[in-house]
């Protein structure tokens, strides 16, 4: 199908029964539908939005274009869960109605106040010359799930000195006031985050930029989020336009954090350390955090990237969200771990322990395409040791320790259907210890690997054949001990 402007900028409610059936037929033939990740029923999913605990449940919305795997008219799709494991699709939640949002309901956040869920989003519109206009907007959801939009933006446009790239409001409360960060671009085409303040969530005043130590760090910062953990301030955002640097910034766009002192809300000063890229894998972008009712800081990301073609694009759907993770700070690094609730998904358990000596072996019972696995590798004198996953005819995905180069490596060169090849097919991070713990979540078309305490994470899509389900352990040029426990999901 040809994606003309008319085909891209349509409302979900204009979808005909025939179109829906055709999409459903295409999607149901896909071998890469996920088992336990949040994915669109059809169409394209991107950023998580409005992630919040409200009225006894988690609410998690996402950017959604219903008609196919392209970025067109964005809606918010709504899902709900009481346990972060079972998600219930509630349907489309926000769709364009007003002129200020005529070309999409862009990303934003949720904030609960006075028993109502306030949904802050960016109204994206285009004029006749296709110039972009962005405003920050508000919709309010009540306990029955009824959503009412304000009929005009709460922040009509960007301040002077900034371009129309002005989006993705995230709201929080501190010392009796409300604050909002918005991703922005200065007129000199550098990215930054703008800070706003309000006492009623409706009237907002601009306080200025968040003053960081990076004057030039990419051309646009998307999806900012600010939060504190213990006594640390954390500014999370997705900068665009960073150049690759060693093993870092290998994907088209990045996302990461600065960990520092709590933000000074009087003058916008944020004292922070070095930029920490949040993921070492191939497919991770635009994450958003929220607080659980028991005080944990939870994070979900988009397991995909803009401007990249994915193998399911021809199947009427694209992308999924990551598993929910808990984030914490250890030695000034933001670490991520799978939320403990995910243990509920564990089914049959298998175990294997092996001493390997310059060999490749099948560890008995372990195999599969949807599982959780915890692996401990003790490097003896092997040059490389690790695992091959999703092994099948001509297919394998490798995760291993490279002792010679002191790296931990994810290699998807032969994972299956190839895509995004121009960005390479190997990702690695410095790693000098001779033991490692890998906590792996494999789903039908993705892998998430949490290393040790979660200080390194690899998040990636994989598109193997259905029958590529083997698991093998290996040690090259020496010995290693590998111990694994696996649960089917
Ligand atoms: C990030 C992003 C956001 C924007 C949304 C539109 O992936 O570009 O900045 O609000 O996607 O779908």
CATH architecture of the domain covering 346-488: Sandwich (2.60)
* Ligand 1 center from residue 431 Cα (angstroms): 33
* pLDDT for position 417: 98
Q: Say yes or no to pLDDT of 208 above 90.
A: yes
Mean pLDDT of all residues belonging to the chain: 97
* Per-residue pLDDT reduced to its tens digit, 157-199: 999 999 999 999 999 999 999 999 999 999 999 999 999 999 9
The ranges assigned to domains in the chain are: 5-339, 346-488
**124 in ligand 1 pocket by Cβ < 6 Å?**
no
Mean pLDDT of 386-402: 98
Whether 414 sits among the annotated catalytic residues: the reply is no
**185 in ligand 1 pocket by Cβ < 6 Å?**
no
Burial label, 127 (beta-carbon count in 10 A; 0-12, 13-18, 19+):
exposed
* Per-residue pLDDT reduced to its tens digit, 432-458: 999 999 999 999 999 999 999 999 999
Distance of CA 359 to the CA centre of its chain: 36
Mean pLDDT of 236-265: 98
**255 in ligand 1 pocket by Cβ < 6 Å?**
no
Q: Say yes or no to pLDDT of 257 above 90.
A: yes
5-339 topology per CATH = Tachylectin-2; Chain A (2.115.10)
Q: Say yes or no to pLDDT of 331 above 80.
A: yes
* pLDDT for position 444: 98
* Ligand 1 center from residue 48 Cα (angstroms): 10
* Ligand 1 center from residue 354 Cα (angstroms): 46
* Per-residue pLDDT reduced to its tens digit, 31-49: 999 999 999 999 999 999 9
* pLDDT for position 202: 98
Q: Say yes or no to pLDDT of 365 above 80.
A: no
Q: Write down the residue that tokens 């892998």 correspond to.
A: 447
* pLDDT for position 472: 96
* pLDDT for position 296: 98
Domains 5-339 and 346-488 share a fold: no
Measured distance between the N- and C-terminal CA atoms of the chain, rounded to whole angstroms: 36
- pLDDT-based confidence at 429, cuts 50/70/90? very high
- pLDDT-based confidence at 237, cuts 50/70/90? very high
- At 239, list the tokens: 């900068």
Q: Say yes or no to pLDDT of 364 above 90.
A: no
d(CA 456, CA 353): 24
Spell out the long-range contacts of 363-368 with Cβ–Cβ below 8 A and sequence spacing 24 or more.
363/471, 363/472, 363/473, 363/482, 363/484, 365/486, 366/471, 366/484, 366/486, 367/469, 367/470, 367/471, 368/442, 368/469, 368/471, 368/486, 368/488
User: Does the predicted model carry a pTM greater than 0.95?
Assistant: yes
Q: Say yes or no to pLDDT of 56 above 90.
A: yes
Q: Say yes or no to pLDDT of 322 above 90.
A: yes
pLDDT > 90: percent of the chain:
98
């Amino acid at each position: 199908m040809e994606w003309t402007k008319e085909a891209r900028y349509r409302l979900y409610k204009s979808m005909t029964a025939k179109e829906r059936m055709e999409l459903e037929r295409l999607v149901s033939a896909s071998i890469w539908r996920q088992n336990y990740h949040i994915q669109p029923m059809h169409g394209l999913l991107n950023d998580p939005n409005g992630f919040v605990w409200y009225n006894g449940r988690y609410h998690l919305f996402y950017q959604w274009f219903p008609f196919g795997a392209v970025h067109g008219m964005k809606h918010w799709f709504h899902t709900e869960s009481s346990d972060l494991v079972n998600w219930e699709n509630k349907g489309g939640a926000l769709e364009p109605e007003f002129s200020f949002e005529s070309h999409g309901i862009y990303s934003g956040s949720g904030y609960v106040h006075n028993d109502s869920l306030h949904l802050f989003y960016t109204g994206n519109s285009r004029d006749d010359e296709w110039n972009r206009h962005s405003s920050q907007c508000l919709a309010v959801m009540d306990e029955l799930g009824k959503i009412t939009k304000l009929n005009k933006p709460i922040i009509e446009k960007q301040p002077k000195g900034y371009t129309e790239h002005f989006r993705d409001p995230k709201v929080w409360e501190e010392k009796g006031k409300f604050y909002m960060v918005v991703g922005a671009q200065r007129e000199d085409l550098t990215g930054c985050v703008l800070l706003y303040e309000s006492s009623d969530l409706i009237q907002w005043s601009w306080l200025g930029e968040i003053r960081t130590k990076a004057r030039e760090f990419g051309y646009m910062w998307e999806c900012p989020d600010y939060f504190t953990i213990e006594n640390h301030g954390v500014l999370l955002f997705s900068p665009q336009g960073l150049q690759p640097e060693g093993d870092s910034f290998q994907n088209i766009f990045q996302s990461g954090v600065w960990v520092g002192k709590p933000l000074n809300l009087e003058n916008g000063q944020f004292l922070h350390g070095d930029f920490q890229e949040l993921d070492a894998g191939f497919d991770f972008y635009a994450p958003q955090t929220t607080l659980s009712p028991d005080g944990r800081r939870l994070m979900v990301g988009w397991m995909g990237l803009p401007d990249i073609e994915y193998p399911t694009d021809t199947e009427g759907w694209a992308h999924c969200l990551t598993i929910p993770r808990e984030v914490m700070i250890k030695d000034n690094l933001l670490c991520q771990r799978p939320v403990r609730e995910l243990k509920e998904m564990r089914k049959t358990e298998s175990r294997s322990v092996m001493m390997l000596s310059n060999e490749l072996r099948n560890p008995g019972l372990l195999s599969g395409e949807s599982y959780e696995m915890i692996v401990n590798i003790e490097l003896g004198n092997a040059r490389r040791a690790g695992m091959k996953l999703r092994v099948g005819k001509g297919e394998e995905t490798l995760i291993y320790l490279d002792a010679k180069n002191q790296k931990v490596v994810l290699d998807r060169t032969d994972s299956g259907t190839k895509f995004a090849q121009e960005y390479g097919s190997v990702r690695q991070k410095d790693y000098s210890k001779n033991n490692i713990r890998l906590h792996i979540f494999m789903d039908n078309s993705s892998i998430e690997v949490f290393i040790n305490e979660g200080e390194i994470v690899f998040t990636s899509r994989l598109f193997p054949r259905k029958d590529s389900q083997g698991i093998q352990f290996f040690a090259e040029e020496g010995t290693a001990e590998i111990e694994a426990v696996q649960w089917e999901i």
